[in-house]
Amino acid sequence: MSTTVSGKSGTWRNWAGNVTARPVREVAPASVEELSAAVRKAAEDGLRVKAVGTGHSFTAAAATDGVLIRPQLLTGIRNIDREAGTVTVEAGTPLKRLNVALAREGLSLTNMGDIMEQTVSGATSTGTHGTGRDSASIAAQIKRLELVTADGSLLTCSEEENPDVFAAARVGIGALGIVTAITFSVEPIFLLTAREEPMTFDKVTADFDELFTENEHFEFYWFPHTGNCNTKRNNRSAGPEKPIGRIGGWIEDEFLSNGVFQVANLVGRAAPATIPTIAKISSRALSARTYTDIPYKVFTSPRRVRFVEMEYAVPREALVETLRELKTMVDRSSLRVSFPVEVRTAPADDIALSTASGRESAYIAVHMFRGTPYQAYFTAAERIFTAHEGRPHWGKVHTRDAEYFSKVYPRFGEFTALRDRLDPDRRFGNDYLRRVLGS
């Protein structure tokens, strides 16, 4: 039975609290048939339709004043095909549930991001990624996709079936239809050894090419107002498992990375002048450690401190220069930034609007604590990123529009032409899509 909610209770907010929407009605379909019916009914009523996941996007990608589709009943694994090395899951399944279920079956995704609260469809539609020298974003691990299009019909795509749709819909920003199921490529579960260690900004940037080349997954965090970074290298391991001890793990991951960090940010928000001092202390709080565990326990980490984020992908060869410009800008400004800057990489892929489409990429993510003014910092950072032909993450704060995207995405026209074909009446449109894709 699908549930429809309307009235005042229908205000939808995203995780960061910076986007709100007031849909005419909310529908939680329990099957693909109910979802198709909801799309057709919306068309009859002249309403637009958007599906929301867990609201982890900082943009208004999922906001609607029409019909809001909540996918919480469309969850679970449909099928595991060990021979083909695939798993098919319903679109509303949270990544964390998928990771745990796969591990129980002795399987794993090859790569994943560091947050696992999102639904599989929300994460892939916005191009969510982790870090990897050879393995790419979550969307690049998709083998087959099923979506309900504007006329309520079900369309399946893969490299063999509707390949033009497959090339675009894996990162579709909700513009081509509502994803109902995703088939991912999976592999037998493996072990990763993580090595986390502090390193100076100058050393990381000087040795970046080497650190990138020598590790399967390399990432680092730079603490603004300091010359300090924290690095993390994840590489496959023959074992044995050596997980983080419960107490040590709690101290580092919960107490320092979430508890103390939350307090430090609250202090910084109340008294911005204290931020550089706090940053110097925070950047030295985490010590070096090495541990070996199954992938999701190494790739992902709890993020309980709420923030607003902007992230841009620049060509990998432009990373060091871009980052040095960012540091110079922060050092010369009166900005007070309490959140570290995160740097990751991805190989080139073949998805039309993937941030790594056709080019090896490096990601620079800037964050501000929720409730702190972020515009000045993000505007200055964005100026630097766009000078390097940066491509913003579709689910994170940015001010770019269709004209800009048509210049930095060689296959932008291919995507918009497909959208014209699949959704000519813009049933799945909203203000955000009008800005980033054009009308």
Average pLDDT over residues 432-438: 98
Give Cα separations from 242 to 233, 254, 297 (angstroms): 16, 19, 11
Average pLDDT over residues 47-71: 93
Q: What is the pLDDT of residue 5?
A: 39
Least reliable range by pLDDT among 233-237, 255-259, 388-392 = 255-259
Number of other residues whose CB lies within 10 A of the CB of residue 16: 19
pLDDT of 277 higher than 80: no
Counting residues of the chain whose pLDDT is more than 70, the rounded percentage is: 94
Closest CA to 300 of 242, 244, 380: 244
Average pLDDT over residues 256-267: 68
| Mean pLDDT estimate for the chain | 92
Average pLDDT over residues 135-164: 97
Report the distance separating Cα 368 and Cα 355, nearest Å.
Answer: 22
Q: What is the pLDDT of residue 218?
A: 98
pLDDT of 223 higher than 90: yes
Average pLDDT over residues 347-363: 98
Report the distance separating Cα 261 and Cα 221, nearest Å.
Answer: 14
Please give the backbone phi and psi of residue 64, each rounded to the nearest 5 degrees, phi first. -150, 150
Counting residues of the chain whose pLDDT is more than 90, the rounded percentage is: 81
Residues written for the chain: 439
- Tell me the pLDDT band of 366, cut-offs 50, 70 and 90: very high
Report the distance separating Cα 50 and Cα 72, nearest Å.
Answer: 14
**Is 255 or 227 the better-scoring residue by pLDDT?**
227
Report the distance separating Cα 391 and Cα 354, nearest Å.
Answer: 9
pLDDT of 425 higher than 90: yes
DSSP 203: H
Residues pairing with 51 in the sheet:
69
Q: What is the pLDDT of residue 263?
A: 72
Average pLDDT over residues 91-111: 97
pLDDT of 3 higher than 90: no
- Tell me the pLDDT band of 8, cut-offs 50, 70 and 90: very low
- pLDDT tens-digit series, residues 284-301: 767 789 999 999 999 988
pLDDT of 251 higher than 80: no
Report the distance separating Cα 342 and Cα 277, nearest Å.
Answer: 20
pLDDT of 279 higher than 80: no
DSSP line for 253-292:
IIIIIIIIHHHHHHHHHH-GGGHHHHHHHHHHHSPPEEEE
Average pLDDT over residues 242-252: 72
Report the distance separating Cα 37 and Cα 10, nearest Å.
Answer: 20
pLDDT of 268 higher than 90: no
How far, in whole angstroms, is CA 214 from its chain's centroid?
A: 25
Angle between helices 375-387 and 319-332 (to 10 degrees): 150
Residues 48 and 430: beta-carbon distance below 8 Å: yes
Angle between helices 275-285 and 261-270 (to 10 degrees): 170
- What residue has token string 């430090």? 264
